[in-house]
Amino acid sequence: MLDTATKPGPTPSPNRARVALLVSVPVLSLIAAWYVMTPRPSGRSSSSGTVAQVPPVPVSVAEVTQRDFAIYLRAIGTVQAYNTVTVKSRVDGELQQIFFREGQHMGAGDLLAQIDPRTFEAQLRQAEAARDRNVALLATAKQDFARSGQLVERGYTPRQTYETQRNQVDQIEAAVRSDEASIEAVKLQLTYARITAPLSGRTGVRLIDAGNMIHANDPVGLVTITQLQPISAMFNLPQDLLPDVSAAMRAGPSLTVIATTQDGKRELGTGVLELIDNAVDQATGTIRLKARFPNENETLWPGQFINIRLHLATRSEALVVAGPAVQRNQDGTYVWVVKPDSSVEVRPVRIETIAANEALVVGGLKPSERIVIDGHSRLRPGVKVVAKSSTRPDVATAGDPEAKL
C-alpha cells in the first residue's frame, strides 16, 4: 500500500526571515516616532468627559500708552569744518619767530609768526627819501612856474617856456604820487611780515620751523587752521523722504538734528538742518543734507563719522507700544493682546514707525490695553498667560529716555 501519512511542509528559508525582519524594524521605528511627536492633551480624560486645563504661559506684558511721540529719520553723517585755511606767507624772508602752539585756539587776527622785517624797513626808508626829494623838487618847480606866469603876462618870457614849466610841475607831482604808492607797498610788505590768523579756529601740526627761509610760493605753508565753532555735518537720506523733509522745513522752524556716536550711546551735539541739496544723486537715489552745530564743547571733529537723528515731526496723543511686542507674519504686523480673563488673542495693527524700542501704532489698539512683549513662541489664541518680570535689556529699557540714543 502506498504510505498516505501526512508529510511535514517545507521549512521557510533563512533569507525570507531576514527580509521580514528588515522590513518590520523601520515600520516600528516610524510608529514610535509618530507616537512621540504627535501632540496629546496634557491632562487625562475623567469619567465625566472633562479635560484638565493647560497651565498658564509665563509672559512679559506692558500697557499701551498714549502720549506725544517724536518721529526721527536716521542716517550716517560725516562732520565737516565750515572753513579750513592753510596759512602761507605773502613775502619772502627768514622766519624769525613762531607765536603759536600746535593745537592752540587762535582768534582772527592773532599773531602766528614773524618774518625778518629789516629788508622791508630799509626799502621803506628808501621810498620815503625818494618821496621827500621829489616833494622838494615839486616845491621849486611850482615857484618857477608861478614866476613864469607873471613874466608871460608882461611879455618878458616866451609862452613855450611857461608851458614847459607847467608840464614839469605835473611830472614831479606824478613822481610824488608814485613815491607814495611805493611807500604803501613797502608798508604792506611789512604788514605781511607779521603772519596773522585769517579766522578763528584750532591750529594743526606746524609745517615749518623758525630759522628757515619762507617764500610766498611755498606749496606747504606754515600751518593749517580749522574752524570748529560752528561746525557742519553732511548726511544722505533716501529720495522718497524728500517731500516729507521739505514740507517739514516749510511748515515751521528749523528742524532739529541730533548727532550721536556710532554706537548710539553718547549724544555729541544738537543742531539744526541748514540745507537740502539742489539735486538727487542718481547713482544712489539719495539726497544730501547739511546740518549746523554750535559745537561749544568741541565734541564734533572734522572727518568724524556720526549717527544722525533728524526730528521730522511729533505726533500728539499717539498710541505707543514697546517695540518687541510687534510681531510679523505673511499678513502683516500684529500683537498679542491680554484680555481681562488673562487669555490672549491676536490683534492686527498698523505701525507707522519704530524707534528706540518703541512703536507708533496707527490703529488696532486702545490705551491701557495689555500686550505681550516677551514669550510669544508658546502662545496660541485663547491660552491663559501669567505676567512675569522681563530680563531682556531691550524690554527693560523701553520708555527710558536715556536709552533712546
- Of 351, 365, 245, the closest CA to residue 308 belongs to 245
Q: Mean pLDDT score of the chain, rounded to an integer?
A: 83
CA 399 to CA 330: how far, in whole Å?
Answer: 29
CA 70 to CA 249: how far, in whole Å?
Answer: 16
CA 243 to CA 294: how far, in whole Å?
Answer: 27
* CATH architecture type of domain 117-192: Orthogonal Bundle (1.10)
Q: In the structure, what pLDDT confidence band is assigned to residue 203 with cuts at 50, 70 and 90?
A: very high
The pLDDT assigned to 15 comes to: 57
CA atoms within 13 A on the CB side of 147: 5
CA 39 to CA 237: how far, in whole Å?
Answer: 51
Q: In the structure, what pLDDT confidence band is assigned to residue 223 with cuts at 50, 70 and 90?
A: very high
End-to-end CA distance of the chain: 112
The pLDDT assigned to 337 comes to: 93
More confident of the two residues 149 and 109: 109
Please check whether residue 250 is in contact with residue 243, taking contact to mean a CB–CB distance below 8 angstroms.
no
pTM listed for this prediction: 0.66
Q: Where are the domains of the chain?
A: 68-80+229-403, 88-113+196-226, 117-192
Q: What is the number of helices (H) and of strands (E) in the chain? A: 5, 22
Identify the weakest region by mean pLDDT among 82-96, 161-175, 256-270, 325-339: 161-175
3-state secondary structure 188-255: HHHHHCEEECCCCEEECCCCCCCCCEECCCCCCCCEEEECCCCEEEEEEEEHHHHHHHHHHHHHCCCC
* CATH architecture type of domain 88-113+196-226: Beta Barrel (2.40)
CA 256 to CA 237: how far, in whole Å?
Answer: 15
Full DSSP string of 285-296: TEEEEEEEE--T
The pLDDT assigned to 298 comes to: 92
270 pLDDT more than 90? yes
CA distances from 66 to 315, 318, 319, 326, 368 (A): 10, 5, 5, 17, 8
CA 332 to CA 379: how far, in whole Å?
Answer: 18
Q: In the structure, what pLDDT confidence band is assigned to residue 4 with cuts at 50, 70 and 90?
A: very low
pLDDT average, residue stretch 261-281: 92
pLDDT tens sequence across 37-80: 555 544 444 444 444 466 888 999 999 998 888 888 999 999 99
Give 68-80+229-403's CATH code, choosing from 3.30.470.10, 2.40.30.170, 3.30.420.40, 1.10.40.30.
2.40.30.170
pLDDT tens sequence across 273-325: 999 999 999 999 999 999 999 999 999 999 999 999 999 888 888 889 988 88
CA 238 to CA 52: how far, in whole Å?
Answer: 56
- Write down how long the chain is: 405
CA 27 to CA 32: how far, in whole Å?
Answer: 9
97 pLDDT more than 90? yes
